[in-house]
Structure 1
Amino acid sequence: MDWQTLWLFMAAGWLLNLTPGPDVLYIVSHSLRSGLRAGVVAGLGITAGCFVHIAAAAIGVGALLSASGTAFTVLKWVGAAYLMWMGVRMLLSRPASGAGSTPVISVGQGGAAEPLSKVFLGGFWTNVLNPKVALFFLAFVPQFIAPGTDNKALAFVLLGTLFNVNAIPINIGWAAVATWMARRMDVVQHRLQVLDRVAGALFIGFGLKLALSDRPVP
């Protein structure tokens, strides 16, 4: 790959990672609620999930999902159920303090923070259980592999890794912007509940969209 094509690949990756979706919502919601560190960890969990898809596509699992309606449907429903389960949890979440209390909590600076390991795993499974992420890598990355490349699987892994590493600064940027906004809003607890409700509804919407999606034509 020449330098011009490489820069085109990286620029396309940045633009794709700037597009709002379940991953961005996951990072932003955790940054608003628990601060920059939680947002960064959420992004790293999503990145780890992408590496699973890169490896799977390189060994042919992505091609199997693209060719097999049954395999795609099973993973699609599992992923949709997981997204909707996360959404329902957010909708039903309760404030950390007792009912009727309204103490001021600066988002990202206190409150009952979710364990970072749980934040990481949530981001990881949000990506791993979405078959469209596997199909995305299968459709996007090969466009940048030269036809005469001897080891196309290795080239796929290297480009997929570059795409993933390239996305980390964007994910950290989303987390930093969300945290910066939260610290200047002085949001009280009931507004945090509103944030959970909105994020929960969006996750349910993403889950329904995934559940109703058709398998892409190979």
Structure 2
Amino acid sequence: MSLHLWISFVAATTVLLLIPGPTVLQCIGDALANRDRQSWSTILGVGVGDAIAMSLSLLGAGALLRTSAAAFTIMKTIGGAYLIYLGLRAIWDARNTHEPEAPSAAAAPAASAFVRFGKASTITMLNPKSILFFVAFVPQFISPQGRFFSQCAILLLTFVSLAMLNAWLYMSLAGVLNKRLQTRTAQKKVGYATGGVLFTAGTLTLALKRT
């Protein structure tokens, strides 16, 4: 793989990751709800979710989804339904957040590291934005003149590293803005935003068509 091709992939990946989506809002919400706990489990979950989705795509799952109507329908139904469920759950939780003003972490127990890891990895793995990127765009950065698996390994490590760095940056930003976002009113807004994005992502996933 040439340096120019790799830099192009880094640029495309950076733009994709910086656009707020289900994973980013999940990271922000997790940082606010678990502000007294370390964020490594959520960041690791993001990395594992992207690694699984991208590996499956590079190993041929993307081609299978393009050619098999049944496989594509099963994938998008499961993924879309799960994202919609998480979106509705986030909206419901936000709606049932009541005053007085206080950090929500004091009102509800913080999630365990395992739960946060599982939720982050699942949301990331089912993120339609990433799925489309892996299936449609990643193969364009693989040179036919180079070794396939070595190029795949480079692209995989690059994407996962950037994804985890992006998650850490957003969670750190949420931590810096903690005092402004820790009130019930602010957390309601974050909850509604997260739920709306997850619900929309799930709806778009269900509406995906094979190309």
Q: Tell me which interval the TM-score lies in, with the shorter structure as reference length.
A: 0.7 to 0.9
The change in CA–CA distance for 1:86 and 1:12 in structure 2 (over 3 A counts) is same
Give the 3-state SS of the residue equivalent to 1:60 in structure 2: helix
* TM-score, length of structure 2 as denominator length: 0.85
Aligned partner of 2:148 in structure 1 is 152
Partner of 2:120: 123
Letter of the 1:89 partner, please give it. R
Task: Write the letter of the residue equivalent to 1:90.
Answer: A
The ranges of structure 1 where at least 4 consecutive aligned residues each deviate by more than 6 angstroms after the TM superposition are: 107-110
Q: Which consecutive unaligned segments of at least 5 residues does structure 1 have? A: none
- The residue that corresponds to 2:197 in the other structure is 202
2:110 to 109, 113, 116: 113
Count of residues paired in the alignment: 211
What is the aligned partner in structure 2 of residue 102 from structure 1?
Answer: 100
Task: Tell me what 1:166 maps to.
Answer: 162
Q: Give the root-mean-square deviation of aligned CA atoms.
A: 2.8
Indicate how the Cα distance of structure 1 residues 138 and 152 shifts in structure 2: closer, same or farther if over 3 A, else same. farther
Aligned pairs (5 A) from 1:4-153: 4-35=4-35, 37=37, 39-93=39-93, 102=100, 104-105=102-103, 112-130=109-127, 133-149=130-146, 151-153=147-149
* Identical residues among aligned pairs (%): 27
Determine the C-alpha separation between the residues in 2 that align with 1:214 and 1:69. Answer: 9
Structure with the greater alpha carbon radius of gyration: 1
Shift of 1:62: 1.7
Q: Which stretches in structure 2 are left out of the alignment for 5+ residues? A: none
1:6 and 1:13, CA in 2 relative to 1: closer, same or farther beyond 3 A?
A: same
Q: TM-score, normalised by structure 1?
A: 0.82
